[in-house]
Amino acid sequence: MNLIDRFSLEDKVVVITGASSGLGLGFARALATAGATLVLAARREEKLEALAAELRQQGTPVLIRRTDVSVQEQCEELAAAAADEFGRINVLVNNAGVGPAGSALREDPAVFRSTIDTNLNGVYWMARACAPHMPEGSSIVNVASVLGWVASRFPQAGYCASKAGVLGLTRDLAQQWSRRRGIRVNSLCPGYFDSEITNSEGAEALRTMVTDNSVLGRFGEQAELDAALLFLASPASSYMTGGSLVIDGGLSAIV
């Protein structure tokens, strides 16, 4: 296999959670370009329908499934549907996530719990559900965050705790499954990229913070993260497991 072919996802079935918008939508388009067959999951089914129509028009086989990853049973139903439709799952991209911010002393405890349920527990439920359908040589990519490594300059305890948890979970599942099942498990740790979350309330202050406190001094672009995802999802990263790939424009380098 030559170098370029190692990045190909031809004949690979890829499940992506949180695929209806933001980074997940961009990931779906990038994975389709690499030749993947896609299983798209999110809570907003109408947005999944629109993305699926776009990708099918380009020749990509697509299955969609409305899924709330915080509900274990829905994760199991998603994995079963993917396996029934395509016979296997080769790649899981655990991308679904929420990013509320707020002071720890003022935050509604229910918001903290729901953040952990989606960002951390959802990663676990999806990995558990998909692993039995994944043949040797498969890959799980858990989308964590640079804020799993360094402190946020804005108060968001639930988000930071959940993403740090994803890093620990990634290492443990890699230890459990890489030799025994042939499933590599790695995490992708983005910094700040243009998305629904980073363009919501408080976006101006966030952009100023990134400008002032990162080496490159700007938000990332989707294509700059897509390339890293393709590396982790494909055979190009066949000697990497239990690791984390930080794509943050140098934010963590100068903290």
Q: What are the catalytic residues?
A: 159
- Paired with 190 in beta bridges are 247
Q: Are 146 and 248 in contact (CB under 8 A)?
A: yes
Q: Nearest-CA neighbor of 89 among 130, 34, 33, 125?
A: 130
CA dist 228 and 242 (Å) reads: 15
Neighbours of 231 (CB within 10 A): 18
CA dist 24 and 126 (Å) reads: 15
Q: Are 140 and 173 in contact (CB under 8 A)?
A: yes
Q: How many residues does the chain have?
A: 255
Q: What is the dihedral of CA 58, 64, 68, 69, to 10 degrees?
A: -70
Q: Where are the beta strands (DSSP E) in the chain?
A: 13-17, 37-42, 62-66, 91-94, 138-143, 183-190, 244-247
Coil vs helix vs strand at 14: strand
